[in-house]
Amino acid sequence: MHIHILGICGTFMGGLAVLAKSAGHRVTGCDLNVYPPMSTQLEAQGIALISGFGPEQTDLNPDLYVIGNVVSRGNPLMEEILNRGLPYTSGPQWIGEHILQQRWVLAVAGTHGKTTTASMLAWILEDAGYAPGFLIGGVPLNFGISARLAGDDRASPFFVIEADEYDTAFFDKRSKFVHYHAKTAVLNNLEYDHADIFPDLSAIETQFHHLVRTVPGIGRVIVNAREPALKRVMARGCWSETEWFGATEGTADSTGWTLQTHDDDSFDVGFGGALQGTVHWRLGGEHNRMNALAATAAARHVGVPPAQAIASLAQFENVKRRMELRGTVNGIAVVDDFAHHPTAIATTVAGLRKQVGAARILAVLEPRSNTMKLGTMKQALPGSLADADLVFGYGAKGNGKESLGWDLGEALAPLGAKAAAFDDLGLLVRAIVQAARPGDHVLVMSNGGFGGVHQKILDALAA
What is the predicted pLDDT for the residue at 408? 86
Whether the link from the prior residue into 37 is cis, omega within 30° of 0, is yes
Instruction: Find out whether 443 and 337 touch, Cβ atoms under 8 Å.
Output: yes
* Full set of structural domains in the chain with CATH: 2-89 (3.40.50.720), 100-313 (3.40.1190.10), 324-462 (3.90.190.20)
Q: Tell me the torsion sign for CA atoms 248, 250, 253, 256.
A: positive
How many other CB atoms sit within 10 Å of the CB of residue 317? Answer: 15
What is the predicted pLDDT for the residue at 146? 87
User: What are the tens digits of pLDDT across the range 373-387?
Assistant: 667 778 888 898 989
The residue type of 372 is: M
What is the predicted pLDDT for the residue at 402? 58
The alpha carbon of residue 15 and the mean position of all alpha carbons in its chain are separated, in whole angstroms, by 13
What is the predicted pLDDT for the residue at 305? 96
Length of the chain: 463
What is the predicted pLDDT for the residue at 106? 98
Distance CA 414, CA 391 (A): 12
What is the predicted pLDDT for the residue at 35? 62
Q: Which residues pair with 45 in a beta bridge?
A: none
Which residues of the chain carry a pLDDT beneath 70?
34-38, 152-154, 248-255, 370-371, 373-374, 397-403
Instruction: Find out whether 66 and 42 touch, Cβ atoms under 8 Å.
Output: no
Residue 358 gets which letter from DSSP?
T
Q: Which residues contact 358 (CB under 8 A, 6 or more apart)?
A: none
Q: Phi/psi of residue 177, each to 5°?
A: -70, -15
Helix, strand, coil distribution of the chain in percent, nearest 5: 35, 25, 40
Which of 451, 140, 107 is closest to 321 using CA atoms? 140
Coil, strand, or helix at residue 102? coil
The residue type of 254 is: S
What is the predicted pLDDT for the residue at 216? 97
Which of 278, 22, 16, 304 is closest to 164 using CA atoms? 16
Whether the link from the prior residue into 367 is cis, omega within 30° of 0, is no
Distance CA 4, CA 49 (A): 10
What is the predicted pLDDT for the residue at 291? 94
Q: Which residues contact 51 (CB under 8 A, 6 or more apart)?
A: 30, 31, 32, 34
Q: Phi/psi of residue 31, each to 5°?
A: -170, 170
What is the predicted pLDDT for the residue at 6? 97
Q: Which residues contact 125 (CB under 8 A, 6 or more apart)?
A: 106, 131, 132, 158, 160, 299, 302, 304
What is the predicted pLDDT for the residue at 462? 87
What is the predicted pLDDT for the residue at 259? 92
Q: Measure Cα distances from 291 to 186, 205, 234, 286 in Å.
A: 10, 20, 19, 9
Q: Measure Cα distances from 354 to 132, 206, 248, 312 in Å.
A: 34, 36, 23, 24
